[in-house]
Amino acid sequence: MTTRSWPRVIVHADMDAFYAAVEQLDDPKLRGKPVLVGPPGQRGVVLTASYEARPARVGSAMPMAIARRRCPEAIVVPPRFDRYQEVSRIVMRTFADFSPEVEPISLDEAFLDMTGAEGIFGTPEAIGSKLKAAVQEATGGLTVSVGISGTKYVAKVASGHVKPDGLTIVPPALAKDWLAPQPVAVLWGAGPKTQARLAALGLETVGDIAALDPTGLEAKLGRTGRHFFELSQARDPRPVESARRAKSMSSERTLAADLSSVNELRPYVRQAADVVARRLRDKSKAASGVRIKLKTHDFRILTRQRQLAEATSASEIVNATAQSLLREIDDPGPFRLIGVAVFGIQSSGAAGQLELLAARSEGGRLDAVLDALHHRFGPRAVQRASDLLSRTVFREDVNLDYLENDASPDEDA
DNA sequence: TCTGGGGTCCTGATGCTT
DNA sequence: TCTGAAGCATCAGGACCC
């Protein structure tokens, strides 16, 4: 199969049962056995179930208590996020060997834009096979499922079509027909509530949506209706964005036991505020707003937010704002979860200055940026910028998105 | 059977500015 | 000077994704 007639070649790569697979990779005693990664206590859900556990109808997001009942022989392993991040970095670096345009979606999946790569890697089948082999070799044996098509949406559905260790190729010309018999659950954005609404309208498959008049669907579902219609036609113009930035950061925790008094929540707010403020500083970022989140014992979510006069990464300011927002809560509780988030994230410090200068300098050229940096902030700023740049692949025509994205690749992986 | 944590985007209400 | 409409920003909540 050739991709010459494909307008774009988009790859979606999704690691198979990632957390559980990493645990099995690191501990041979777990291999071939049902493994559940999740909190060892009762108040939590399964993060990942190994494929050996799945015949027992155990899967992600299932309450751990239920999963243990359904699969009593399963070995429960507490998550080790540092290790998953480490392996994720290896996987993402492997993807980067195939394309400069890699958009990580989470630790275990990413989109790659491989348009024009046929000359280097061959047909879509060859691209998929080589990518899978490279990941397996780089990680010491982890498998990845790959979907390839002309849009992000179809590539994503395709990668989930055959799992684990699958490779599904959907030529753009066939994509609409390929989607048609699939259930509406594959529509990006159709969760349980929306699926129920669609079912009430007698819509069960993507083909049912594709056959409708889009204005009628829009009248019933608003912008979501139009969005679903476009997806049903296999139309999805979104580009692969390798320079996507976080818009918010949060830290939240479910309490071991519900708390009723706002005063009892204060230490947890302080702790969460410290965590997000530290993460902002670690990434040389500042935030222009603070939000708190509470979950009541009956699972109602309450939020309160406030804009700050000035962007900050100071723990004291984030904490003071969060504590003040807590005073605005008049719900009697009891509460089972407390969280603090910051939003309106922007760069601060050297990375931010570099970004601004790159934006302002003529054409964003690197030499102009460094000159301006030296002129305005002195040699230490140049050193800091050089440190940042030494961790990137050099490009003559550096633009701000590229700099921003690669300034801290370790955390972003 | 009893529901995590980290995110994004959308919607409707409300208040401010022009 | 007053009023109303339009546009915009912000807020709180909801739904969704991994």
pLDDT tens for the 413 residues of chain A, in order: 777 789 999 999 999 999 999 999 999 999 999 999 988 766 788 999 999 999 999 988 888 888 999 999 999 999 998 899 999 999 999 999 999 999 999 999 999 999 999 899 999 999 999 999 999 999 999 999 999 999 999 999 999 999 999 999 999 999 999 999 999 989 988 888 888 888 888 898 999 999 988 888 888 888 888 889 999 999 998 889 888 788 889 999 888 889 888 888 999 999 999 999 999 998 888 999 999 999 888 888 889 999 988 889 999 999 999 998 998 888 887 898 899 999 988 887 555 545 444 444 434 445 455 555 555 555 555 555 554 443 333 322 333 333 333 333 333 32
- Residues of A marked active site are found at 109
Spacing of A337 CA from C12 C1' in Å: 17
Spacing of A86 CA from C1 C1' in Å: 67
Q: Do residues A72 and A85 lie in contact, with contact meaning Cβ atoms separated by under 8 Å?
A: no
Nearest nucleotide over every DNA/RNA strand to the A299 CA, judged by C1': B3
Nearest nucleotide over every DNA/RNA strand to the A224 CA, judged by C1': B10
Q: Which nucleotides of C are covered by protein (CB under 7 A)?
A: 10-18
Q: Do residues A211 and A128 lie in contact, with contact meaning Cβ atoms separated by under 8 Å?
A: no
pLDDT of the residue at A393 = 30
* Sequence-ordered alpha helix ranges (H) in A164-287: 175-179, 192-200, 206-210, 214-221, 223-232, 262-282
Tell me which residues have their CB below 7 A from strand C.
A 61, 105-106, 108-109, 156, 187-195, 289, 291, 300-307, 328
Q: Do residues A102 and A111 lie in contact, with contact meaning Cβ atoms separated by under 8 Å?
A: yes
Classified as helix, coil or strand, A104 is strand
**Residue from A10, A15, A14, A62 nearest A36 by CA:** A62
pLDDT of the residue at A375 = 58
pLDDT of the residue at A131 = 97
For the four alpha carbons of A383, A385, A389 and A395, in that order, the dihedral sign comes to negative
Q: Do residues A124 and A10 lie in contact, with contact meaning Cβ atoms separated by under 8 Å?
A: no
* Phi, psi values for residue A110, rounded to 5°: -160, 155
- CA gap A303, A294 in Å, rounded: 6
Q: Could you read off the pLDDT of A308-352 as tens digits, one per residue?
A: 888 899 999 999 999 989 988 888 878 988 999 999 888 875 555
Residue nearest to nucleotide C11 (CA to C1'): A305
* Sequence-ordered alpha helix ranges (H) in A122-160: 124-139, 152-159
- CA gap A45, A66 in Å, rounded: 9
Spacing of A252 CA from B4 C1' in Å: 9
Neighbours of A272 (CB within 10 A): 23
Spacing of A236 CA from C14 C1' in Å: 25
Percent of chain A with pLDDT over 90: 52
- CA gap A117, A131 in Å, rounded: 13
Dump strand ranges (E) for A260-361: 285-296, 301-312, 335-347
**Residue from A1, A11, A66, A12 nearest A38 by CA:** A66
The model carries a pTM of: 0.83
Nearest nucleotide over every DNA/RNA strand to the A305 CA, judged by C1': C11
Spacing of A315 CA from B15 C1' in Å: 30
Q: Which nucleotides of B are covered by protein (CB under 7 A)?
A: 1-12
Q: Show the tokens assigned to A370.
A: 């460094």
Q: Helices A349-360 & A379-390, crossing angle to 10 degrees?
A: 90
Spacing of A246 CA from B7 C1' in Å: 8
Neighbours of A57 (CB within 10 A): 12
**Residue from A168, A157, A141 nearest A190 by CA:** A157
Spacing of A133 CA from C17 C1' in Å: 27
Nearest nucleotide over every DNA/RNA strand to the A289 CA, judged by C1': C10
Q: Could you read off the pLDDT of A150-165 as tens digits, one per residue?
A: 999 999 999 999 999 9
Q: Give Cα A303 to chain centroid, integer Å.
A: 22
Q: Do residues A313 and A270 lie in contact, with contact meaning Cβ atoms separated by under 8 Å?
A: no
pLDDT of the residue at A380 = 55
pLDDT of the residue at A217 = 82
Nearest nucleotide over every DNA/RNA strand to the A331 CA, judged by C1': C12
pLDDT of the residue at A359 = 41
pLDDT of the residue at A177 = 95
| Strand A248-259 with A301-312, pairing | unpaired
**Residue from A25, A39, A35, A38 nearest A56 by CA:** A35
- CA gap A196, A191 in Å, rounded: 9
pLDDT of the residue at A368 = 52
Classified as helix, coil or strand, A184 is helix
Residue nearest to nucleotide C17 (CA to C1'): A189
pLDDT of the residue at A299 = 86
Q: Do residues A46 and A59 lie in contact, with contact meaning Cβ atoms separated by under 8 Å?
A: yes
- Whose structure tokens read 């989607």? A179
List, in order, residues 6 or more apart from A32 with CB less than 8 Å away. Answer: A52
Residue nearest to nucleotide B2 (CA to C1'): A63
Q: Show the tokens assigned to A50.
A: 């190994």
Q: Do residues A187 and A175 lie in contact, with contact meaning Cβ atoms separated by under 8 Å?
A: no
- CA gap A90, A86 in Å, rounded: 7
Residue nearest to nucleotide C18 (CA to C1'): A106
Tell me which residues have their CB below 7 A from strand B.
A 39, 42-45, 47, 60-61, 63, 65-66, 69, 106, 222-224, 246-254, 279, 299, 336-337, 339, 341
- Whose structure tokens read 């719900």? A331
